[in-house]
């Protein structure tokens, strides 16, 4: 079975855009699980969060990830995928997990007004608190960590490929 390459990290870290670049370079397919969630729910991520709350988004995300059964794909997850231990163990069973690690100030620059981005967080939780909580989870599940600060998308893609096991 050909293994997948699974991207995790904060919103803005480049999972979706670099995921496509990596899939092309490596001759693999590409799946963005955010799009699968939207198809499953028949709504945008922002609508799910606005109408049903952040926990509903995490629940649908977990269901979608647990159902995913693919091989030889780059899988770009949403930033909140790591809240489900069951989903992460399922993905890790047939894949290498790559953490795209960028610092908080770069997250802020890239995502702009995060209240418009459907981010799954407790309403009272600041972006900085969310970053710290998530950093621990991303680190826990990562097989490979690539630091993206100061790198272009192509350079991040190169760095990922360099870190891959042969």
Ligand X SMILES: O=C(O)C1=C[C@@H](OP(=O)(O)O)[C@@H](O)[C@H](O)C1
Helix (H, G, I), strand (E, B) or coil at 148: coil
Position 110 contacts ligand ADP (CB under 6 A):
yes
Distance CA 19, CA 32 (A): 8
Position 16 contacts Mg ion (CB under 5 A):
yes
Position 15 contacts ligand X (CB under 6 A):
yes
DSSP 134: H
89 is in an annotated binding site: no
Here the tokens at position 102 are 């960028």
Q: Which does 120 bind (CB under 5 to 8 A by kind): ligand X, Mg ion, ligand ADP, none?
A: ligand X
12 is in an annotated binding site: yes
3 is in an annotated binding site: no
Distance CA 56, CA 75 (A): 22
- Please, which of residues 64-123 interact with ligand X by CB under 6 A? 78-80, 117-120
Determine the size of the site formed for ligand ADP (CB under 6 A): 15
Backbone φ and ψ for 5, nearest 5 degrees, come out as -125, 120
Position 16 contacts ligand X (CB under 6 A):
yes
Position 34 contacts ligand X (CB under 6 A):
yes
Select 2 or 125, whichever has its Cβ closest to ligand X.
125
Judge whether 7 and 98 are in contact, CB under 8 Å. Answer: yes
* 113 burial level (CB within 10 Å; 0-12, 13-18, 19+): exposed
13 is in an annotated binding site: yes
Binding residues: 12-17, 34, 58, 79, 122, 134
């Amino acid at each position: 079975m050909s293994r997948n390459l699974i991207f995790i990290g904060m919103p803005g870290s480049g999972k979706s855009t670099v995921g496509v670049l990596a899939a092309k370079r490596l001759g693999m397919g590409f799946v963005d699980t955010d799009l699968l969630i939207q198809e499953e729910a028949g709504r945008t991520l922002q609508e799910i969060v606005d109408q049903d709350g952040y926990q509903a988004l995490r629940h649908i995300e977990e269901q979608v990830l647990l159902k995913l059964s693919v091989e030889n794909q780059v899988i770009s997850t949403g930033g909140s995928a790591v809240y489900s231990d069951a989903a992460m163990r399922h993905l890790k069973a047939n894949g290498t997990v790559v953490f795209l690690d960028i610092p908080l100030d770069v997250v802020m620059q890239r995502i702009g007004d995060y209240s418009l981005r459907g981010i799954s967080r407790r309403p009272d939780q600041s972006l900085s608190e969310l970053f710290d909580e998530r950093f621990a989870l991303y680190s826990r599940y990562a097989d490979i960590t690539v630091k993206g600060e100061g790198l272009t998308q192509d350079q991040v893609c190169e760095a990922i490929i360099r870190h891959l096991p042969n």
